[in-house]
Structures are given as C-alpha cells and as structure tokens.
Amino acid sequence: MLKPDAPKLAILDWMMPGMDGVEVCRKIRAAKFVGPAYLIILTIRDKTGDIVKGLKAGANDYIVKPYNVEELQVRVGVGCRVMEMQATMARQINELEVAMAHIKALRKLLPICMYCKKSVTTRNTGGRLRATFPNIAKPSSAIESALTVTKNTSSRGWIE
C-alpha cells in the first residue's frame, strides 16, 4: 500500500500472520506515500475498546464478523466515493494553485485590485487605466482578460 501503484482501498483482518490489521493501519498512516488509502478492518473483535483502537490506528471503517455481504459491499462503495471525492479535491487544489500562480504572474504585469478587480495603474499610457474584470475561472481566461485590457487602451488612456 506504500507504492504509487498499490491499491487505494484495503480490507484488513485484525488477526493476520506477521502483522495485524491495526499495525498495518498505523504504518500506512505514518508513511509518506503517494495518495490517501481507505482502510476497512473486518474482524471478530466486537468490543468497543477494540473498535476505538482500530479507528484510532487509522482505519476508516470497522466491520464486525459475521458480516452481511450487502453491508460490506455498500461500505466498500462508500470508500470508493470518499476516495473519488479526495481525488477530485486534490485536482481542484492543483488547478487553484496553477491559477494562483498565473494571477501572481499577471499581477506583476498589470496590478489589479483583488477587491474590486480594477486595474490600479497603467504603464506607457500617461493616464489612468480603468477596467473591470469578470470572475476569473481559468488561468487562460485571466491571460485573455489581461491581453484584452492592454490591447483595448483608448486614446484617452481609459478602457470602459
């Protein structure tokens, strides 16, 4: 589970040869690996203290034997949905970081008020530059907006 191509969801028994499921959970959570894992402990141990110990060790879910097959399938489905949401959030965070890098680069070219989205000053026009920017959803639209502002400067030095 520590390799990049390892499965991202695991069903672990508490009592396994070599290393028990709780210890596997601890090691996976302590390791710095590529992505999140969804860990389910499936065991005969049904005491509250055992459940707490398993969840504190890093398990996402805990199922007591004997178990219902349909319930196990549904819980695995929940794990898959959680992992999909985590992957979506990771992609969105990455997109936001890229967009922020583009905005920071554009800010050096054309200072923009982050509150009102208007240009603060202009260069080479001898006057003030007034422009409103739509909400910037993609880095490419930010670049297009900046290019439009610089291309559409009127003789008065204003952009309406």
pLDDT one-digit tens code per residue, 58-80? 999 999 999 999 999 999 999 99
For residue 150, pLDDT beyond 70: no
Of 155, 106, 101, 107, the closest CA to residue 129 belongs to 155
| Ranges for all domains in the chain classified under CATH 3.40.50.2300 | 9-96
Q: What percent of the chain has pLDDT over 70?
A: 65
Q: Per-residue pLDDT for 56 more than 50?
A: yes
What is the reported pLDDT for 127? 45
**Residue bearing the bigger pLDDT, 1 or 13:** 13
Nearest to 46 by CA among 31, 68, 64: 64
Distance separating alpha carbons of residues 38 and 47, to the nearest angstrom: 22
DSSP E strands in 14-135: the ranges are 38-43, 61-64
Chain centroid to Cα 5, Å, comes to 19
Query: What span, in angstroms and rounded, lies between the C-alpha atoms of 140 and 143?
Result: 5
Least confident of 3-7, 21-25, 126-130: 126-130
Q: Are 22 and 58 in contact (CB under 8 A)?
A: no
Q: Give pLDDT tens digits for 88-111.
A: 999 999 999 999 988 887 767 766
CATH match of 9-96 with 3.30.1360.120:
no
